[in-house]
Structure 1
Amino acid sequence: MEILLRYLHFISVITLSGTLIAEFFLLKSSLEKKEIRLLGQIDAVYGISALILLGVGLTLWLGGYGKPTEFYSENPTFHLKLGLFVLIGLISIYPTVFFIKNGKGDATDIVKIPSLVHWSLRAELILLALIPLFAGLMAKGIRIF
């Protein structure tokens, strides 16, 4: 069971990263509504992968698989890693709402994309890039503070 959970955790990390990178590269200063709908679909996969990642991660943490629960619970590096994940989720709310609201209507209508959507995706990518570093430190039992 543990190996299946770890596999699912790994696949959801790859899916989450891939969809976020796809959103970043598909985003332009203005888009047709059909392109915004596509971004919305990619964003939905991103959200589903984030929920799977969170659910599997919590199961691995609290379910007693692998290392004892205390290993994670008492490790500030783990809490920083989890906090970054939550922060990424909060930052992703604005682009998600924008894609949902602006994907409706005539497919060929042009919509100017707010700079906050661009900056949100950039921030998410930067924070996401830090999580594997903290995961590696955490796995080795290194506490950053």
Structure 2
Amino acid sequence: MSLEILLRYLHFISIFAIVGSLVSEHLLLKKSLSRKEIKRIATIDGLYGMAALTLLIVGVTIWLGGHGKPTEFYTYNFIFHIKIALFAIIGILSIYPTVFFIKNRKGDPDEIVQIPKTILMLLRLELLLLFVIPLLAGLMAKGVGYFG
């Protein structure tokens, strides 16, 4: 198996893990949760973070390592830069929910914690932006946005 195929496989698996974890968090989120439930969501959020980090490392390796398409194909494509920007925005949006889950996962497992509405809205916004990225990837694969 070539390195390019392995990298692309890891890239796709990371994407699936990100989508799966965000959808799981969204489905598990309620107006109030026990600390035990928050701990479960925090674990899922940790998987989300590991998948995002893996996606970033593998994506940069594909881009700068010249595996498959030449580096210029990505560097000189404004759609690629929009994809990167959306990925960064999603990462920034995830900070507040992650910090909330980490801070509130410990303590009496049966204690009920009120979940700020902001967390649900941020998760929904992350999902919305995340579902735009595959459209951009498809456009980019067809050469749309290349200005080199």
Q: Which runs of 5+ in 1 are unaligned?
A: none
Could you tell me the TM-score, scaled by structure 1's length? 0.98
The aligned counterpart of 2:4 is: 2
Counterparts of 2:105 and 2:119 in 1: how far apart (Å)?
A: 14
Q: How far does the alpha carbon of each residue in 1:15-61 deviate from its partner, in whole angstroms, 9 at most, with x for none?
A: 11000000000000000000000000000000000000000000000
User: 2:77–2:146: 8 Å Cα contact kept in structure 1?
Assistant: no
The aligned counterpart of 1:110 is: 112
Could you tell me the TM-score, scaled by structure 2's length? 0.96
The aligned counterpart of 1:133 is: 135
The aligned counterpart of 1:16 is: 18
The aligned counterpart of 1:39 is: 41
Counterparts of 1:51 and 1:127 in 2: how far apart (Å)?
A: 17
SS at match of 2:33: strand
- Superposition RMSD on alpha carbons, in Å? 1.1
SS at match of 1:142: coil
Q: Which runs of 5+ in 2 are unaligned?
A: none
Q: How far does the alpha carbon of each residue in 1:66-87 deviate from its partner, in whole angstroms, 9 at most, with x for none?
A: 1110110010000000100010
Percent identity between the two aligned chains? 60
The aligned counterpart of 1:85 is: 87
Counterparts of 2:146 and 2:105 in 1: how far apart (Å)?
A: 43
Give 1:104 shift.
Answer: 1.1
Give 1:143 shift.
Answer: 1.6
6 and 74 in structure 1: CA distance in 2 versus 1, 3 angstrom threshold: same
How many pairs does the alignment contain? Answer: 145
106 and 81 in structure 1: CA distance in 2 versus 1, 3 angstrom threshold: same
The aligned counterpart of 1:49 is: 51
The aligned counterpart of 2:72 is: 70
SS at match of 2:131: helix
Give 1:144 shift.
Answer: 9.0
